[in-house]
Structure 1
Amino acid sequence: MKQKRAGTAKSDLKSKFNDINELLKMSARSGDFISTKISMPNQPISISYYKTLIDQKLLQQHVIHTLQTRSLDSEYKTLDEIKSWIPIENIEITDKVSRIQSKLLKGFALVRLHENDAAFALINVSSKQGMRTNNDTENEFSVVGPKVGFVEDIDTNIRLLRDQINIPNLIVKEFTIGSISQTKVAVVYIDGVANERYIGIVEQRLSDIDFEVVFDSTQLDQIMSDNSLTPFPLFLSTERRDRVVYALISGQVAIISDGSPYFVTGPSTLFDFFISPEDYYLPWILGSFFRLIRFFGVIFSLFATSMYVAITTYHYEVIPKDLLGPLIFSRQNVPFPPFIEVLFLEITIEFLREAGARLPTKIGQTLGIVGGIVIGQAAVEAALTSNILIIIVASSALASFATPIYKMSNTIRFLRFPIIILSAIWGGLGMFIGIGFLLVHITRLQSLGSPYSVPIAPLRFRDFEDSFIRSSYQFLNKRPSYLRPKTIHRYTPDSVKTSNDFDEE
């Protein structure tokens, strides 16, 4: 009986030892995981940790320096001796794999006395770097939900990710890019979720980059792009942590360069640029309503002024009789054709936008409001433009800001001009020619080899659950099929059960 118990205990110890080694091997695949040995007079001590999660100064002063100093006087025999000597509270000694994994990913250092031991001393040397008041998101603000953004330090950014994705499967692979800058670039993905094809494409394209200085992640976005002759952004750039976390758990790959507060995620689709994290923090009916408002705003911003040019130049017959009188009265003193009138106002709006964006915040806001009112009123009184067009252009400019991602907003601003020109040449026909070219171009685009216009082309009915509308969480338990994730299910939804908390008498 004793031999059987001894054999069982030995088997359990071996099983724990194997599980711990598997955990360390999985963690070692990440470039920010460090496993090192401290040379002691009697025997080496191994220390393992994630460098992006810990305070390096705390580790050096209170752990490594203390161990080396104490080893000169006496020999370490047990982890309890190490625990009593290190001046840090709540040091835990355990051989439970789940506990070791949890603490490792919370910023603890693992100290092991012998290589064959299954027990570790868990020492809290976690860093609070990055969790400060000035790393709020500036360009992707939302009223509801967390407002944690990234900063210009790559280790801090990866720490912020690991705080939310608390599993060893979060893999970080580091590259050095830039013949002059030698910039550190990290590729982040979840092993077992992201498709290996996309991981391989990203790593290959980063390895092939020959560049001098990498200033920002958005430069890598352009260099890695599947098509450099398109105004559409093929990768989503974001400074929000929650957006990157959602992309990673969906099966996408994220790229970040040192010195940049922006992550680049891909493969992306056209719909990704109109989805706001706020959609998931509101009830699904409200989230879907605001998302549809965004899509309508983009369509209005893109085609409102070109439709005005087409109608007032070639198609007066489609104007309702009651509206024709006010329109004629508004334009009767304007000496320019509608095309010149629209072009003048659109370029003026762009001037105001650029000036407001480049000036300090308070001055820029004042310039945008006062400049818009003064120039608009003066243009109408000078008979350079009509009142109706002022309203259309102002509404169009306002609608373009409904896009959550600034890069897509710039694309919409640019696309308005060629469609206006086509409408001025061929009227409604020119407008539809522009729409046709736009649709063909979008359907031909790819992001990391994945179709840009999915789930519309190619058609994926199941992925419509999170495209034009945001469905209930009961139906969002599967990852998007076009990402080809290795595991399709995210969680198992249960039906809501209501219960009466009041006792019936």
Structure 2
Amino acid sequence: MKRKAKKTSKSSYFPCTLEQLEKDLKDGFFNSTPDFSKKTIEQNGQRIGVFFIHYMVEKDQIYKFVLDKIQSENIQWDTKLLDNEIPINNAKFRTECEEIGKDILRGSVCIYVEGDSDCITYGFPNILERTPSKAETESLVFGPKIAFTESLRSNMNIIHWRMDNSSLTSEKFIIGNEIPTEVRLVYLKDLANEENVNEMRKRLKNLETDDVLESSVLTQYIEDNSYSIFPQMYVTELPDRLCYELKEGKLSVLVDKSPSAVIAPINFFSFFESTEDLYTRWNMGSFIRLMRLVAMFLSVTLTPLYVAALTFHYEIVPTALLVSLGHSRSRVPFPPLLEALILEFLIELIREAGARLPTKVGQTMGIVGGIVIGQAIVQAGFTSNILIIIVALSALASFTVPSYLMGSAIRILRFPLIIMAGLWGFLGIFFSFSFLIIHVLKQKSLKRPYFAPIYPFRPKDLDNSIVRIPFLKSNYRAYSNMAKKTKRFNEPPNTKKKDIEE
């Protein structure tokens, strides 16, 4: 059934002439837009103006549904009759020139019958959509490969395709004073905690900004602590990751023109999880998750330990290794602190250059550049072979984190730790770790504990974060998510194992 256009209660800008409307629209919105178009239809003593920007609308649909209809009917037109006769459900009555200009900028066509007290706009946006393709930043070996696109309409279609659930709820927000952008809050009404929904809804409604460039930019506006180096909301381009988190009782925010979605509330250990852990066997998934956490710890500590040991604590190095270290560093003119900082900066430089270059060239640059520069810098005596190995292991360990934002945070943390190790040795490292632990414990994600289930300690939630247990045994959602329904399914009845003869 076709919806009727809604009238506004504002004082009307109309009636006016077509020339006056065209002049005001150009002066207010389209003075620097040569593609603003007007078509005038004269019939039965009437003048009807059609206004639009030709590259922002589907011109074929305008001619098919609007212009052909008006020109084929030999009747006296007005806005009410246009709304009744043209079978399009997004019609809007407009009485202000400013409203008309904004509609045209969003891909609408404005129709005004000269002398009427209002006009009508129809949405015919020419939306550019990229075909869903394989994920780039979150690559998987097992599982679905499809990723989100820049079209909000396409992304919502993917979510509904993956989740055939009547509880799936979507709330619309328009954010941006200068460049309005559509934002969707998505959750499962039967599972999502109402406090979480209200908190996210409040943050989106109260957000005042000129525009929202992308989902990751939106998180910096609405996260609990924008000064922390640790991300407090997960940004993903994988629809299967999003759907899995929704079924755990979490919320998601999608931004138009952004190929990624925001998930909240989230905890620290969620950044080391991957949906691929679910597609493999439970023991393998647990091993991989634990390996990522160990790799994160090694990535942060290996180089600082090297600097602290060679600067203050030679006595902890085994004698055989100490000889090798002394020989390797005999030609190095820099102290361990400066040596480590130079090499860490060089590794980050190669990584950034490889990421910004085209894919094939970037891979070659990363491999060849690392080998050639590493060998040259050792031969030139700027660093030791052992530090090359340690820095390379630290860089590899940081790449095991599925989240790009968390991986970047870990790589940045190495620099202050190296400086503290060079200034105060192990005492500086312990002080830095104490500060980091206190900082992480104080963080929250949508007012929920960030370091759960370790703090506060919830043993039953460990299988939803640090390890993975078999699906038949994992029938409780994480308490940290505060989902309305804690049980995923009813436990199967205990069946007694029978012998083959029985």
Q: Which of the residues 402, 410, 419 maps onto 2:408? A: 410
Shift of 1:493: 3.9
What is the letter of the counterpart of residue 480 of structure 1?
A: A
What is the letter of the counterpart of residue 350 of structure 2?
A: L
Aligned to 1:423: 421
Distance 1:158 1:497 in 2: 43
Residue 158 and residue 496 in structure 1: after superposition, are their counterparts in 2 closer, same or farther (change >3 A)? Answer: farther
Distance 2:469 2:487 in 1: 16
Per the alignment, in what secondary structure is the counterpart of residue 425 of structure 1? Answer: helix
Q: Which of the residues 162, 176, 179 maps onto 2:177? A: 179
Q: Given the alignment of the two structures, is residue 287 of structure 1 paired with residue 285 of structure 2, yes or no?
A: yes
Cα distance per residue 1:364-393 (max 9 Å; x no partner): 111111110111001100110000000000
What is the letter of the counterpart of residue 481 of structure 1?
A: Y
Residue 131 and residue 284 in structure 1: after superposition, are their counterparts in 2 closer, same or farther (change >3 A)? Answer: farther
Shift of 1:305: 0.3
Aligned to 2:304: 306
Distance 2:484 2:389 in 1: 50
CA contact (8 A) 2:204 2:222 kept: yes
Per the alignment, in what secondary structure is the counterpart of residue 297 of structure 1? Answer: helix
Aligned to 1:210: 208
Distance 2:309 2:439 in 1: 26
CA contact (8 A) 2:453 2:461 kept: yes
Percent identity, please: 42
What is the letter of the counterpart of residue 305 of structure 2?
A: M
What is the letter of the counterpart of residue 208 of structure 1?
A: N
Aligned to 1:479: 477
Distance 2:135 2:287 in 1: 24
CA contact (8 A) 2:449 2:456 kept: yes
Shift of 1:191: 0.4
Alignment of 1:265-344 (within 5 A): 265-344=263-342
Cα distance per residue 1:184-224 (max 9 Å; x no partner): 00000000100010101111101111111211011110000
Shift of 1:333: 1.1
Distance 1:493 1:147 in 2: 32
Aligned to 1:488: 486
Cα distance per residue 1:281-331 (max 9 Å; x no partner): 000000111111111111111111000000111111111122111111111
What is the letter of the counterpart of residue 191 of structure 2?
A: V
Shift of 1:355: 0.8
Residue 322 and residue 159 in structure 1: after superposition, are their counterparts in 2 closer, same or farther (change >3 A)? Answer: same
What is the letter of the counterpart of residue 332 of structure 1?
A: S
Aligned to 2:137: 139
What is the letter of the counterpart of residue 269 of structure 1?
A: N
Q: Given the alignment of the two structures, is residue 373 of structure 1 paired with residue 382 of structure 2, yes or no?
A: no
Per the alignment, in what secondary structure is the counterpart of residue 483 of structure 2? Answer: coil
Aligned to 2:440: 442
Alignment of 1:40-55 (within 5 A): none
Distance 1:159 1:399 in 2: 36
CA contact (8 A) 2:148 2:237 kept: yes
Distance 1:461 1:355 in 2: 43
What is the letter of the counterpart of residue 243 of structure 1?
A: R
CA contact (8 A) 1:130 1:157 kept: no
CA contact (8 A) 2:130 2:150 kept: no
Shift of 1:467: 2.0
Residue 425 and residue 38 in structure 1: after superposition, are their counterparts in 2 closer, same or farther (change >3 A)? Answer: closer
Residue 246 and residue 381 in structure 1: after superposition, are their counterparts in 2 closer, same or farther (change >3 A)? Answer: same
Cα distance per residue 1:155-212 (max 9 Å; x no partner): 1111111111111210000000011221000000000100010101111101111111
Distance 2:375 2:369 in 1: 10
Distance 2:449 2:298 in 1: 25
What is the letter of the counterpart of residue 280 of structure 1?
A: L
Alignment of 1:84-99 (within 5 A): none
CA contact (8 A) 1:255 1:264 kept: yes
Distance 2:492 2:2 in 1: 45
Mean Cα deviation higher: 484-493 or 232-241: 484-493
Structure 1 residue runs without a partner (length 5+): 1-34, 40-56, 69-128
Aligned residues: 385
Shift of 1:440: 0.1
Distance 1:412 1:437 in 2: 15
What is the letter of the counterpart of residue 319 of structure 2?
A: K
Distance 1:282 1:165 in 2: 22
Q: Which of the residues 354, 357, 368 maps onto 2:355? A: 357
Shift of 1:496: 9.3
Distance 1:378 1:354 in 2: 20
Aligned to 2:112: none
Aligned to 1:26: none
Aligned to 1:189: 187
Q: Which of the residues 247, 251, 254 maps onto 1:253? A: 251
Distance 2:303 2:452 in 1: 28
Cα distance per residue 1:319-355 (max 9 Å; x no partner): 1122111111111111110001000000001111111
CA contact (8 A) 2:133 2:146 kept: yes
Q: Which of the residues 251, 260, 263 maps onto 2:261? A: 263
Distance 1:156 1:493 in 2: 37
TM-score (norm 1): 0.73
Residue 347 and residue 493 in structure 1: after superposition, are their counterparts in 2 closer, same or farther (change >3 A)? Answer: same
Aligned to 1:114: none
Shift of 1:466: 2.1
Mean Cα deviation higher: 212-221 or 266-275: 212-221
Per the alignment, in what secondary structure is the counterpart of residue 187 of structure 1? Answer: strand
Per the alignment, in what secondary structure is the counterpart of residue 302 of structure 2? Answer: helix
CA contact (8 A) 1:358 1:364 kept: yes
Q: Which of the residues 451, 475, 494 maps onto 2:449? A: 451
Aligned to 1:12: none
Residue 217 and residue 325 in structure 1: after superposition, are their counterparts in 2 closer, same or farther (change >3 A)? Answer: same
Query: Structure 1 segments of 4 or more deviating over 2 A?
Result: 35-39, 129-132, 492-500
Shift of 1:492: 2.3
Structure 2 residue runs without a partner (length 5+): 6-57, 70-127
CA contact (8 A) 1:130 1:160 kept: no
What is the letter of the counterpart of residue 369 of structure 1?
A: I
CA contact (8 A) 2:130 2:151 kept: no
Distance 2:378 2:493 in 1: 59
Cα distance per residue 1:41-62 (max 9 Å; x no partner): xxxxxxxxxxxxxxxx9xx99x
Per the alignment, in what secondary structure is the counterpart of residue 430 of structure 1? Answer: helix
